[in-house]
Amino acid sequence: MAAETLSVRKDGAWKPVINPWVYDTSGIAAWKRIHKVHVRSGNAWKLAHKTNYDDYPLLHNNTYNDPGSQLSRSITVGAGIHYWEVIIIGHGGGSGGIASVSNHYTCGGSPSPSDNLITGDISGGRWGGAGGYARAIFEVQQGSVMTFHNAVQSGAPANESLPPTGGAAFHRNTTNSGSYNFSLNEVVKGGDGGASNIIFRTDTGYPHKTAIAIDVNGGTGGSGGYITCTSRCYSFTDRRGYNFSLSNTGGGTSGTASIVLSGGTTSELQTTTTGGGVAGADAPSSGAGLAPLSYGSVQIKQYGIST
């Protein structure tokens, strides 16, 4: 909170003016609260007072967290509103899906497959990353248009839906006789978890309007499991065997956030936290990856004077 700079003399002491008023005789005469006071200093007008955000009442407090409709909106700053407080909690990433192959014979030191089928191989999917977090309190101008929406994260699966989802499970059956149905170095892979960001913007094409950009990245999706065919073998009795290696590129990373003001827009507070948003989905115990337990949100508090 910036300190008040306008003072008046009262009871032998200078005291700061927190909420200045003027008597307006245009139209219906009345006392009116004013946001800024300028004084003439030399040959220029200079700002002597600006009412702080926490000296105004909180007029509106709305949270938007339905990714299907509410997280794609435009809101215009109304009359009497002087500050917005925006809190954005980023989406968590989905976890990756499991990859698996069916029961099969293995290849050992002998060229021939093993005598007994082994239980099929499973490579687990990994967890999703936590979303980012941003909070900003900034001065707004009446008529400014604020927009925010989901955005599929770069590198997320092409078929990603919003909000983030878990990756698909993928299973392949082996042929234990007849023709091979795996090539050497062929990969079976579970789907990666989804990831999406929340983008908050204001108009910048008009003078004297608010100009702020807040990007809150979601946690990245966990990778799906990988199974790679590393060798094949067969016997004269037409038995086919395979060796597979299991791997995974890892869990999702935490989302970051950024706040950028321009065009003379001023802020009272800016805070960003990597991984401070919604937790990513846990790694699945079987099958497909999981979606986060909850979705990200945009909360908007509006401070000003009722008109």
**Amino acid occupying residue 253:** T
pLDDT of residue 275: 94
53 phi and psi angles, rounded to 5 deg = -60, -40
Query: CA 219, 161, 154 angle in degrees (round to 5)?
Result: 50
> Pick the residue with more confidence: 73 or 8?
73
pLDDT at 290: 92
Residue entry with tokens 């003027």 = 22
Tell whether the model's pLDDT for residue 15 goes beyond 60. yes
Mean pLDDT of 248-265: 89
Work out the pLDDT band at 158, boundaries 50, 70, 90.
Answer: low
| Chain centre distance of CA 240 | 48
- Per-residue pLDDT at 98: 95
Mean pLDDT to the nearest integer, 81-102: 94
Q: What is the mean pLDDT of the chain?
A: 86
Let me know: does 166 contact 192? Beta carbons within 8 Å. Answer: no
pLDDT(159) > 60: no
Residue pLDDT, tens place only, 47-89? 777 888 988 999 999 999 876 666 788 898 998 999 999 999 9
Domain residue ranges in the chain: 1-51, 54-304
Cis peptide before 163 (omega within 30 of 0): yes
Q: What percentage of the chain has pLDDT greater than the value 70?
A: 92
Mean pLDDT confidence for 274-290: 92
Instruction: Report d(CA 187, CA 189) in Å as an integer.
Output: 6
Residue 125's pLDDT band (cuts 50, 70, 90): very high
Q: What is the mean pLDDT of residues 212-216?
A: 92
Q: Which two structure tokens, joined as six digits, stand for 246?
A: 């299991």
Q: How far apart are alpha carbons 199 and 152 in whole angstroms?
A: 10
Q: What is the 8-class DSSP label of residue 219?
A: P
Amino acid identity for residue 145 in this structure? V
Tokens of 38: 């300028």
Beta-strand runs (E) in 7-57: 7-10, 13-16, 21-24, 30-33, 36-41, 44-50
Question: From its phi and psi, is residue 236 left (phi > 0), alpha (psi between -120 and 50) or beta?
Answer: alpha
* pLDDT-derived band at 156, boundaries 50, 70, 90: low
CA atoms within 13 A on the CB side of 232: 19
